[in-house]
Amino acid sequence: MTGRVQRRAATLNSACQCLWLDRGRLDAELARDPALAPLFAARTGLVADNVVFLDAADAAAMDRTIALAGRALDSTPFRQQVAAQAPALAAAGRPALPGLLGFDFHLGAALPQLIEINTNPGGLLINEWLARAVAACCPEAAAVLAPPADQQPASALTGKVPALFRAAWTAARGTAPLVTIALVDDDPPNQYLYPEFLLFQQLFAAAGWRCLIADPQALAVRDGALYLGATRIDLVYNRLTDFYLTEERHAALARAEREGCAVLVPNPAAHAHYADKRLLAALGDKALLTAAGLEAGEREQLRAAIPMTELVSAARADEFWRRRKELFFKPVDGYGSKAAYRGDKLTRATFQQILAGRYVAQALAATSMRRVVVAGTATELRVDIRNYCGAGATWLRAARLYRGQTTNFRTPGGGFAPVVIVAADSADAGCSRV
């Protein structure tokens, strides 16, 4: 993007060390819960020490893209396409209950590029904490931290989380009381985001619900209900990445969804309606977008904001191999970096595995960079911006800093980082040391 404000954020990201994560403040927050502090300490790549600056114009562009994508995905033509390709557990007339949605962008092009939509984006509550623990070296730098007038502070957003789950419950069960929630993932204590599970448990408890954290293999269906031991489970906050519950260890959850024994949020239908990566190709289809009701200008804006995405087929193997260096290959039902491959790193053997599976090929979307100091040495890390969205609105933005092909929590100096928006009327604001 061009213009003074856009250059300002890039300048700050390339030079400014005047805002940072105040570890002392974060540690003080963690000290209130003895269970959290050692978990954070053991996950050294979870949280970065730096902030990432984002131009207000880019934030607004992401919001427009999210709104347009949401309109398209919720339209009848897209729903019909989903119904035709989704597995039975997601296509049997079940309403999609997405709960929280994540929209991930790269910022290395003229317009922020939407590279992925997911139905269980991790990190919301962790990043809410981080947003409240940013420190500044001087009053000028501190002034940049003031949120725009139309943006709520991060601390106001977590109150919306219980309302989101209550709405999903009401959509499925009407006025029936919601008593017990199970937050479910494989081997929860060994999940890297287990600290966030505890934060959700606390948040649900504050809303008046009992919340149990459980491995799905501990669940059982009997007498038409889902149980964890002797406790009946009303709603499952589903953090699994087996989106259609096909693995044997998830059989109880699959049965509960199939028989309506509990409410799953997100449920398989949510993944089919929002996060199946074939939808990124559909969002570039002019005819389908027209049928979805988007005007010409809206269609072009949305198509310009999503890297060209194509379904991989063996019939086009030679073409995809020839173009591989400009493509990123992602499994249709994958998540994050699992089984995703940058084309210029592909071997022939891996490419054959891709052809044998279900993949999309997405045009490479350049990342922006953030200059950080790690152990006294300056280095540049890639930036990915995650937008946490609920009920059609962006609740919080956070960055992920990393080195390598895809986001990870193994990069020294990397991890989640607070996003600071450089407002349109603050192009010359900020620390005089920059």
**Percent of the chain, pLDDT > 90?**
81
Distance separating alpha carbons of residues 158 and 374, to the nearest angstrom: 31
**Domains of the chain and CATH, by start:** 4-306+365-426 (no CATH), 309-363 (3.30.1490)
Cα–Cα distances (Å) from 323 to 10, 108, 179, 337, in that order, read: 30, 20, 53, 21
Q: What is the mean pLDDT of residues 83-112?
A: 92
Quickly count: other Cβ atoms within 10 Å of residue 195's Cβ. 22
pLDDT of residue 144: 74
What's the mean per-residue pLDDT of the chain?
A: 92
Q: How many residues does this entry show for the chain?
A: 434
What's the rounded mean pLDDT across residues 10-31?
91
Is residue 4 predicted with pLDDT exceeding 50? no
Reported confidence tier of residue 1, pLDDT bands at 50, 70, 90: very low
pTM: 0.94
Query: pLDDT tens for residues 244-297?
Result: 999 999 999 999 999 999 999 999 999 999 999 999 999 999 999 999 999 999
Q: Which residue has the higher pLDDT, 407 or 191?
A: 191
pLDDT score, position 339: 84
pLDDT of residue 105: 98
CB 286 within 8 A of CB 368: no
Does the pLDDT value for residue 335 go beyond 80?
no
Q: What percent of the chain has pLDDT over 70?
A: 92
The contacts of residue 410 (CB under 8 Å, 6+ apart) are: 45
Q: Per the omega criterion (within 30 degrees of 0), is the bond before 266 cis?
A: yes
Across 411-424, average pLDDT: 92
State the pLDDT at residue 336: 62
Please report, for residues 334, 361, 363, 409, the alpha-carbon distance to residue 341 in angstroms, rounded to integers and kept in the order given: 12, 10, 12, 18
Give the residue, 249 or 425, on which the prediction is more confident.
Answer: 249
pLDDT for 355 beyond 80: yes
The per-residue pLDDT for 388 is 97
Task: Kindly state the average pLDDT of the residues 329-339.
Answer: 82
**Residue 3 binned pLDDT confidence (cut-offs 50, 70, 90):** very low
Q: What is the pLDDT of residues 207-247, one digit of tens each?
A: 999 999 999 999 999 999 999 999 999 999 999 999 999 99
Q: Of 23-27, 187-191, 231-235, 258-262, give the lowest mean pLDDT range.
A: 23-27
* Residue 155, burial from CB neighbour count under 10 angstroms (0-12, 13-18, 19+): exposed
The better pLDDT of the pair 33, 70 is held by: 70
Q: Are 377 and 46 in contact (CB under 8 A)?
A: no
Q: How far is CA 315 from CA 61, 75, 279, 320, 340, in A?
A: 37, 31, 21, 10, 21
71 pLDDT above the threshold of 90: yes
pLDDT of residue 154: 57
- Higher-pLDDT residue of 377 and 5 is 377
- CB-count burial class (<10 Å; 0-12, 13-18, 19+) for 358: middle
pLDDT, one tens digit per residue, over 108-155 is 999 999 999 999 999 999 999 999 899 998 887 877 776 554 555 555
Q: Is the dihedral of CA 142, 145, 150, 151 positive or negative?
A: negative
Instruction: Please check the confidence at residue 93 and state whether its pLDDT lies above 80.
Output: no
Angle between helices 194-206 and 160-173 (to 10 degrees): 70
